[in-house]
Amino acid sequence: MRGEEQEKQWALLMRAGNAGDSDSYRRLLLLLTPVLRANARRGLAPAGMADTDAEDVVQETLLAIHLKRQSWDEEAPFGPWLRAIARHKMIDALRRRGRRITLPVDDFSEILTDGGAEPDMLVADVGRHLEFLPLGQRTIVQAIAIDGASIADAAARFSMTNGAVRVALHRGLSALAQKFRTEES
């Protein structure tokens, strides 16, 4: 698919997500992941960083896309917004690791969507931050992310209201993004 059409499709899915369609939103994030992964690997390789580091950046970027999605204007093109977020997170990651390199021109449309597979990871991923979350948030994030529970499932399992599960999930994800940012490595 050509870059422009691809971005139009992303924008379409994002608008659906904004309207509350979580299936479209999930599909969008799954579509973006290989693109972000290829971009992260290309950006980090010159700094001698491993694929697991790139996966860190991918996860961090996905969190930022999610938590900052209100900063995308539904009428504005999706590509420049996505590139700016990905670039910001990449620079952030490089700065945190104390490397100085110049970034390649990040034009996603030139990247094949096959960004390679997710690396097998031991510790280098968002999961290591879970343990820092307050127990309530950690339980909810784990149940939904890893066990694949729905909001309603989690609510029933922990005798909570759907609303309380939503709040815990949202706070947990925000806290994860925060943890990523403040981490020194």
Judged by the rule CB under 8 A, the positions of this chain that interact with other proteins are: 17-18, 20-23, 25-26, 29-30, 33, 55, 58-59, 62-64, 66-73, 76, 79-85, 88, 118, 121, 125-127, 130, 141, 144-146, 148, 150-151, 166-167, 169-170, 173, 177, 181
Q: Which is nearer to other proteins, 132 or 150 (CB)?
A: 150
Task: For the CB of residue 145, give the shortest distance to other proteins in the complex, in Å.
Answer: 4
DSSP state of 115: -
Q: Which is nearer to other proteins, 54 or 111 (CB)?
A: 54
Q: How far apart are CA 63 and CA 178, in angstroms?
A: 10
Task: Give me the amino acid identity at 152.
Answer: A
Q: Which is nearer to other proteins, 111 or 144 (CB)?
A: 144
Q: At what angle do helices 22-44 and 78-96 cross, to 10 degrees?
A: 50
Task: For the CB of residue 99, give the shortest distance to other proteins in the complex, in Å.
Answer: 18
Task: For the CB of residue 176, give the shortest distance to other proteins in the complex, in Å.
Answer: 8
Question: Closest by alpha carbon to 165, among 141, 145, 146?
Answer: 141
Q: Which is nearer to other proteins, 42 or 181 (CB)?
A: 181
Using DSSP's 3-state secondary structure scheme, residue 97 falls into: coil
Dihedral angle of Cα 73, 75, 77, 80, to the nearest 10 degrees: -20
